A and B are shown apart, each in its own frame.
Chain A
Amino acid sequence: MNRRKFVTHTVTSGAGLMLSGILAGAAHKQEPDIYTGNQKQPFMQEVLKYRKIDAHAHADENQYKPEVNLDFADRLGIEKLMISNFIRPFSEGRPDDFRTRNSFTIKCMKDHPGRFIGTVALNPAFRKESLEEIDRCRDAGMTGLGELYNQVKIDDPLYYPIIEKCIDLNWNIMMHSPVGHSRVKLYQSEPKNISLPEDFVSIAKRYPEALFQFAHIGGGIDWEYACKVLKDVPNVFIEVSGSNNAAGMIDFAMKYVGEDRLVFGCDYSFYQGVGQVFSANLTDAQRKKIFFENIAKRLKKAGIHVN
């Protein structure tokens, strides 16, 4: 597949920066190539032309303010953000905690209609309360689970009734992925119940009709490791958010899991989330799938129509 140019160069003449002779001892037989440099390309026009759904966003009253989310979203052409107020690591994640968090998410949806798609935080260690919370949040317009954190592993039997309910609702299930796996030991901040790529494979095979989202391959995991492990589980989306906008990450993910399983997200790293998609070797159609169409299809299954 040929690399698609970022944008069509609209300017064909002009003086570039010619540094000839700057390198001492340079001697050449070749004539200089014809290359005119920047000439102010319409980058933002290209960025804004793609519809985008951020499949990994957060909102709370402190670190992830809704207004900041929307400022970045407007700047970069992100129509909707799938927000959660996740249960923090090392907290017990009791029902009163996740109810309060979800209520804040519901408030954000009401305050900014059409911009936020609320996803549900819960802790399957509290089975009855979690199942009830799904009903409460669904009634309030939320859809899908996320970001599930590390209170319980994704393939723990405690999750079975939750996942079965999500299957009935056609809900997306988005869970955090671990940090630091490539250094043999997990990051110190990762609790022992963190879900590894292998755990996602295990649960995805047990429930092939369930819709999983492996969070933020740019969030600190070894993305090559993760994509290789998750290669053959078609019901797991690979979501590309995170602050580590490693060159080649999306190209590698494309090779292993393909254009129908990659979804765009930022996880509050907005420049990297958008920038790396334009840096990757993608066609126009592939960008559309990653930015919008893949996750929109899943949302549609759950009754959320964003077209």
Chain B
Amino acid sequence: MLIDSNAYIGHWPFLRLAHNTPETLLGRMKEFGTDASVISNLNGIFYKNTQHANDELWEAIRSKRIYTDRLIPFAVINPVYGGWRDDLEQCTTRMGMKGVRLYPQYHGYEIATPSCVELVKRCRDKGLPVAFCLRMVDSRTSSWMDLDKEWTLKDIVPIVKAVPDAKYLVVNVANSMALNTEDMDLFRKADLLFDSSGRNITNWADLFKSFGTGKFCFGTHAPILDYFSGLLRIESLRPTEADEKTKAQLRSGNIKKMMGL
């Protein structure tokens, strides 16, 4: 079984995307044999009121049975925007969304700001994962109107420290994963997964040694990154590096466990 833990529908303002609708995403999934994808709506990064994006995602997914069978929606919530508590409740109850994507860089708040901590605690209490992305697009090639600072893993530390018992998904690990001993210990103990889409997921031997095989899962970051590189990282592991059981964990086991699927 194969589950993509990091995919999207929607638009990016500075780049024309393909395969960014449920139907075209499903086409990619069929081509590569992906059973299910965790998706959120890119538009939620740019709408001031992110709930419009969640409404769009919900409407899109419920329009066909196969979408509800194969697509696992995550809500985009902005915890410094009015009404976010109600947005979270609507998304996770009426709409049945299975996790939350947060974008402090784009929505203009510090990751451990009190309302973000409150949101993450609410998600923890609901058993829902919270996802952060180290970078949405490569800042070198992005528009002059887009962010010019990318995150490293250190930037995630404050929220994991603030709510160590929440579930975290860290995607597109494109930059340094270096942590001090204390923070590494924190991350090892946390219920936390890194997806395989980021360019820093390269040296598996070191990654497994540092974090363990239970901390990684397949992700594409599609339709922003190419669909296959994240999977190739897993499929090209040699038997001496990862046995079939470990590969199965990476393909779907670890994310299924986190999501209770």
Contact = CB atoms under 8 A, between A and B. Distances in A.
Given A19-B70, A180-B140, A24 B1 contact: no
Interface string A262-282: 000000011110111011100
A171 interface: no
Nearest to B146: A183
B222 interface: yes
Contacts of A9: 33
A243 interface: yes
A16 B1 CA distance: 7
> Size class of A's contact patch?
35 or more
Interface stretch (B77-85, B89-97, B119-127, B181-189): B89-97
Interface in A2-20: 3, 5-6, 9, 16-20
Given A17-B1, A278-B232, A38 B140 contact: no
B141 A182 contact: yes
Interface stretch (A29-37, A84-92, A159-167, A286-294): A29-37
Nearest to A269: B199
B144 to A, nearest CB: 5
Contacts of A182: 141-144
B34 interface: yes
B106 to A, nearest CB: 17
Given A20-B68, A30-B64, A35-B30, A223 B226 contact: no
B44 interface: no
A272 B226 contact: yes
A233 B64 CA distance: 47
A135 to B, nearest CB: 37
B180 interface: no
Contacts of B33: 9, 37-41
Given A37-B1, A38-B251, A182-B142, A22 B96 contact: yes
Contacts of B232: 43, 47, 76, 271, 274-275, 278
Interface stretch (A95-103, A115-123, A144-152, A244-252): A244-252
A271 B199 CA distance: 8
Interface in B226-242: 226-233, 235-236, 238
Contacts of B191: none
Contacts of A16: 1, 35-36, 69-70
B178 interface: no
Contacts of A247: 17-19, 222-227
B97 to A, nearest CB: 8
Given A28-B64, A44-B236, A246 B138 contact: yes
Contacts of B231: 43, 275
Given A5-B31, A269-B199, A19 B238 contact: no
B66 A35 contact: yes
Nearest to B256: A17
Contacts of A20: 65, 68-69
Contacts of A22: 68, 72, 96, 98
Interface in B125-162: 138-144, 148
B100 interface: no
A17 B65 contact: no
A54 to B, nearest CB: 15
A229 B199 CA distance: 27
A244 B199 CA distance: 8
* Residue picked from A40, A75, A76, A271, most chain B C-beta under 10 Å: A271
Given A9-B33, A23-B73, A76-B236, A28 B141 contact: no
The 7 closest A-B pairs by CB, nearest first: A275-B229, A24-B96, A37-B35, A220-B140, A279-B226, A38-B33, A38-B2
Interface of A: 3, 5-6, 9, 16-28, 30-33, 35, 37-41, 43-44, 47, 75-76, 179-180, 182-185, 187, 220-223, 243-251, 269-272, 274-276, 278-280
14 contacts: A19-B69, A22-B72, A28-B65, A38-B1, A76-B232, A180-B140, A220-B140, A221-B141, A243-B199, A246-B224, A247-B223, A248-B16, A249-B226, A275-B232
Given A23-B58, A25-B62, 18 more contacts: A17-B3, A17-B35, A20-B69, A24-B95, A25-B96, A26-B96, A28-B64, A30-B66, A33-B65, A37-B34, A38-B1, A38-B34, A41-B33, A44-B236, A245-B199, A246-B226, A247-B225, A278-B232
